[in-house]
Chains A and B, each alone.
Chain A
Amino acid sequence: MTTGSIIAADLILAVLAAAGWLGGGAAATTGRRRLATGLAILALLATLGRAATTVALARAGWWFAAEKVVIAAPLSLAAVAVGVRRTPMAMFFAGYAATGALLVTVLHGYPVSAGAALLAVAGVATATAVTWRLLHGRTSRTAVAVAVVALVGGTAFAVEPTAAADHDHRPVTASRAGEPTKRFVLTAGTTGDAWAFNGQVPGPQLDATVGDVVEVTLRNRDIERGVTLHWHGYDVPNDQDGVPGVTQDVVRPGQEFVYRFVADQAGSYWYHTHSASDIGVRKGLYGVLVVRPGRPTGVEVVVAYPARPPLTTTASQPGTPVRFRLINTDSVTHRYAVAGAPFTVVALDGRDLDSPSPLTNTVLAIPAGGRFDVVTTAPAALFVDGRPVRATGPLPPAPGAWPVLDPLTYGTASPPPWTRVDRTLTLVLDRGLDLRGRLPRYAHTVNGAADPGIPTQVVRRGEVVRLRIVNRSLVVHPWHLHGHHVLVLTRDGKPATGSPLWLDSFDVRPGEVWEVAFRADNPGLWANHCHNLPHADAGMMLHLRY
């Protein structure tokens, strides 16, 4: 069982325990003793099951189990101790305690906080007091007193001020890149329902050769929410990174901004607006950036998601080399399959792999924002999520239930370019209630906080920094650090054994723990966020500074 499914099983058991006690309470109130006993047994079994899942999660990592051990376990024990008396009141109390044990995980699981614990106790005591009043017609002074004290204490802890994120920072200005050798103009504007660069979705493909000085003039015609250009995966100097309010001011209608950077890394990249990025990218403000080491050879097929059918066929001589540049510009993982000929994944996120071996009948799961470069020979066809989208000849049969390539074991390993790690930063991804804004929201959180309330992480220039990313939530989080490619060290404690993987976008699935590292050699204030853009909008975004 994966840690992800244990997290899910734990939640199901928590629901069963709460439902068992509450249902038992209702049954006991209406005098159905046998049903009440049956439901109490169900609740007991579920609580026992939860003890097992809690132990399993603690073994997978304390991040997954902390609040379950410290807060939920005592509540569940109290539920069992009182609930076994099987009077209506006892079972209702047990139900409230078990519900509290569930809500702590769902609303504010990590880090364990005294505030969450006290508010859970306050909730249980309040519900108990109200039920007592309804069942017995009297007020339980003890329950009311506990509720008031816990509520006051819990609120005091919950509103305790935390360091606010500090974005008032001047981007580090790099020396200008020199006279441009490639110039582009991208004008953002509304086109019907879409938002488009130069009237097209996706925007124009920008092609450059290594060594070019690229200059892109961004103009905003009428996008009210503002526009910027972020060069996804291209590790440009900080002031060219295109994050509004962090590395530049947003470009409002009628304004323009000139980006200039040296195209020193070959590979497949993409650009997109980072202002109102969720809606902006969805409406079409993105495009492909390809930097080639020289003249392209053979056939090149660039596929930016969403690549919708109908199928496009580029007839090619059998045996012609074909390079697919697969770019997932969507917010979720998509499955790509090359059929008809063996293929090799030659580069990930723009970085070449070491001695990759040819593959057949294998699916490539590309994370949101990620890029895979695949080399094959015509005739071959590309399927995205099982549908044919590109072909270089007659269509081969559709892929079946093929296994998924694990890049961590693909290609040949070599030792990392450093021998020590200077600093480790841990990011625990979860969901939780965020009350810091004007309206409460159920945010996507990092270390229990949501943007803009997540403290900026500070490192020193030149350090080798290890990022440990822990996913406690029930959904995949495609992680994306701006300005750096990170080297994958381990996943769930197991070292990567394949070619060194230098990624800028990688999927951290539920229950997974990734350790990646980078050298802090590109100073500035960098966004570090989930590239499922609705998640980033809902709080899963922080910053790294040096």
Chain B
Amino acid sequence: MRRAFVILSGVTLAVFALQFVFAAVGAFTKPSSEDAYALHSITGMAVIPALTVLTTLTAVLAKAPGRLVGLTLLPLGLTLLQALLAALTGTFTDEAGGSTTVGLIIGGLHAVNGIVAVHVAVGVVRGASRLAQPARAGVEAAA
């Protein structure tokens, strides 16, 4: 189960990295439209939450310490916040529907929150690997 925890946390981190690629796809698609972000929003709203819950589950089954289990759950909250920030940028527009400073600041926070989430994901991978290490050492010793 510790092995599964390591793998799942690694996959989650990889998907987080992909999210930046999908965001770039959205930003550089011409003509620009909200559909350009379809991959980004599906990954963010479905794939990442599902992976996070699975990671937490394996963390619990792998008998990870409470702190690490908490850390695996953190991306879920950050992802929820991320979706909310994206939705909020659309609300702060001027009467002509153009962007406003407040809207752009919130949009900027979307990027900052993304970076924070990646750091958390890296922390989970490190924690999972550390947890798996002694187990492997134990197996080798037994062999």
Contacts and interface: CB of A to CB of B under 8 A. Distances in A.
A306 to B, nearest CB: 7
Interface stretch (B7-15, B92-100, B134-142): B92-100
Interface string A9-33: 0011001001100100010011000
Q: Considering residues B67, B81, B88, which has the most beta carbons from chain A within 10 angstroms of its beta carbon? A: B88
B91 A106 contact: no
User: Helix, strand, loop or mixed for chain B's interface?
Assistant: helix
Contact of B31 (A11, A106, A135, A306): A306
Nearest to A330: B33
B96 A134 contact: no
B81 A15 contact: yes
Interface residues of A, number: 33
A397 interface: no
A43 to B, nearest CB: 14
A8 interface: yes
18 contacts: A4-B91, A5-B92, A7-B91, A8-B88, A11-B88, A12-B88, A26-B70, A29-B67, A29-B70, A135-B66, A335-B97, A335-B98, A365-B96, A442-B45, A474-B87, A474-B90, A510-B91, A534-B35
Given A306-B31, A474-B88, A475-B87, 17 more contacts: A5-B91, A5-B92, A8-B88, A8-B91, A12-B88, A15-B81, A18-B77, A29-B70, A30-B67, A99-B77, A135-B66, A282-B35, A335-B97, A363-B96, A365-B96, A474-B87, A475-B91
A247 interface: no
Interface string B26-61: 000001001100000000010000000000000000
B31 A308 contact: yes
Given A308-B31, A404-B95, A22 B87 contact: no
A97 to B, nearest CB: 14
A26 B87 CA distance: 27
A71 to B, nearest CB: 18
Contacts, number: 54
Interface of B: 31, 34-35, 45, 66-67, 69-70, 77, 81, 84, 87-88, 90-92, 95-98
Contacts of A22: 77
Contacts of A363: 96
B91 A335 contact: no
A489 interface: no
B66 A134 contact: yes
Interface string A504-532: 00000010000000000000000000000
Contacts of A404: 95-96
A415 interface: no
A338 interface: no
A294 interface: no
